[in-house]
Amino acid sequence: MRPARRSFCVLGYLLTLCVVTHTAKAEFAGSGTTATGDPDSGDSAPGVLNTEGYSETVCNEPRSGGCQGNCCQSNCFDQRRFLGLLPSDHAFDSFISPLSNPFFFEDPRSLTEARTIFLYNRLPNSVGPGGVVVWAEQIRGRLTERLSLIAPRLGDMNIQTPGNSSGFMSAPVGFKYNLVRDVEAQFLVSAGMTYFIEGSNRVYQGYDDGDFHLFLSGGKRWGNAHWISGSGFRLPSNHNYGNQMWYWSNQWDYQLPGNIHPLIGLNWFHFMRSSSQQFNGAPSISGLDLVNLPFGAVAGTNVVTCPIGVRWKPTRNLEIGGGWEFPVTNRQDILGNRTYADVIFRY
């Protein structure tokens, strides 16, 4: 791993440690609320997150900034900064983050958080034996009420094949802006862009001059049910060594007592254009969301996958998830099946 990229990865983990420590102090100080279970008061049953009740409690707390009116509607509650970053938008706390397609499928909320991801991607038989192991960190920071800085992948990849290799993955960095924020309707839409900085050639992450990712994501709540959807384009800056990809990802979940959210999703990957340079004799695969491989002609092909899983939110600042993903089309690319596990610490 190159020294600059090694330092970048270490910085990500140090930021995670800072967020975890600050979150633990906030929880210890009693920043959360406990539902009473009184149906007449509008509170949830014991152990169930009540977004309305929680937001009301937070917004009624006295603030030194002199917020006026409904703080949740004006998005001015709790302006205390951490490392120069605003707290996450807690008016949408009943939502959960996307589990699958983690490096492209962006949460539409404005968040300050650190997320640690583990995934094991088993290769399909058509590609060969083995799999891919990824450990990655995600950092998001809310700069203003609607603008966030995002670094969705500071990660290491290990390709477990007969020619075993490992190295630093390409690292996307960019911004996300919240376009629509309707607290009463529990509906929001955000847009953003990231640029993928090159990674290690040992794991096929350094072929081109980096990729651009343009995306739009949104979310809606109906009672205890939620739908998050995101779509975007991966556009290589050098078409000789990168494929153009269009994706559409969806996730549906239902909140159960104990803040447990079973979920199911659907990811569609469509390849719009193949790289100009291609490796002779290599299989026609692109790498989906893990890598942009100039291996063969993939233009016009599609891959659809289905993730199933569960998330648990023991507190407003902690989210734990896990799941399994499998292809539903005959074409699999590099995804025979995939296992996910992650932990999110949120400010």
Asked whether residue 113 is assigned to any structural domain, the reply reads yes
Residue 47, pLDDT score: 38
Those residues with Cβ within 8 angstroms of residue 66's Cβ, 6 or more apart along the chain or in another chain: none
Closest to 266 (Cα-Cα) out of 54, 21, 99:
99
Contact status, residue 140 vs residue 111, Cβ threshold 8 Å: yes
Distances (CA, A) of 48 to 260, 304, 322: 9, 34, 20
Read off the pLDDT of each residue in 162-166 and give the average, rounded to a whole number: 86
- Local structure of residue 86 (DSSP, 8 states): B
Read off the pLDDT of each residue in 111-118 and give the average, rounded to a whole number: 97
Residue 162's pLDDT band (boundaries 50, 70, 90)? confident
Asked whether residue 93 is assigned to any structural domain, the reply reads yes
| Positive or negative torsion for Cα 268, 274, 275, 279 | positive
Asked whether residue 34 is assigned to any structural domain, the reply reads no
Average pLDDT, the chain: 82
Compute the distance between CA of residue 275 and CA of residue 86 in angstroms, rounded to an integer: 41
Instruction: Work out how many domains the chain is built from and give that number.
Output: 1
Asked whether residue 37 is assigned to any structural domain, the reply reads no
Read off the pLDDT of each residue in 215-229 and give the average, rounded to a whole number: 98
Compute the distance between CA of residue 278 and CA of residue 296 in angstroms, rounded to an integer: 6
Read off the pLDDT of each residue in 109-116 and give the average, rounded to a whole number: 97
Phi, psi (degrees; rounded to nearest 5) at 18: -60, -45
Asked whether residue 99 is assigned to any structural domain, the reply reads yes
Residue 128, pLDDT score: 83
Read off the pLDDT of each residue in 282-295 and give the average, rounded to a whole number: 86
Could you list the residue range(s) of the whole structural domain that residue 306 is in? 3-16+86-346
Asked whether residue 95 is assigned to any structural domain, the reply reads yes
Contact status, residue 94 vs residue 188, Cβ threshold 8 Å: no
DSSP H helical ranges for the chain: 3-28, 51-59, 71-74
Residue 94 sits in a domain whose CATH number is 2.40.160.40
Task: Flag whether pLDDT at 331 surpasses 70.
Answer: yes
Task: Flag whether pLDDT at 212 surpasses 90.
Answer: yes
pLDDT, tens digit, 9 for 90 and up, residues 232-253: 999 998 888 889 999 999 999 9
Residue 282's pLDDT band (boundaries 50, 70, 90)? low
Asked whether residue 72 is assigned to any structural domain, the reply reads no
Asked whether residue 263 is assigned to any structural domain, the reply reads yes
Better-predicted residue by pLDDT, 64 or 123: 123
Residue 82, pLDDT score: 75
DSSP string across 197-210? E---GGGT--SSS-
Residue 80, pLDDT score: 78
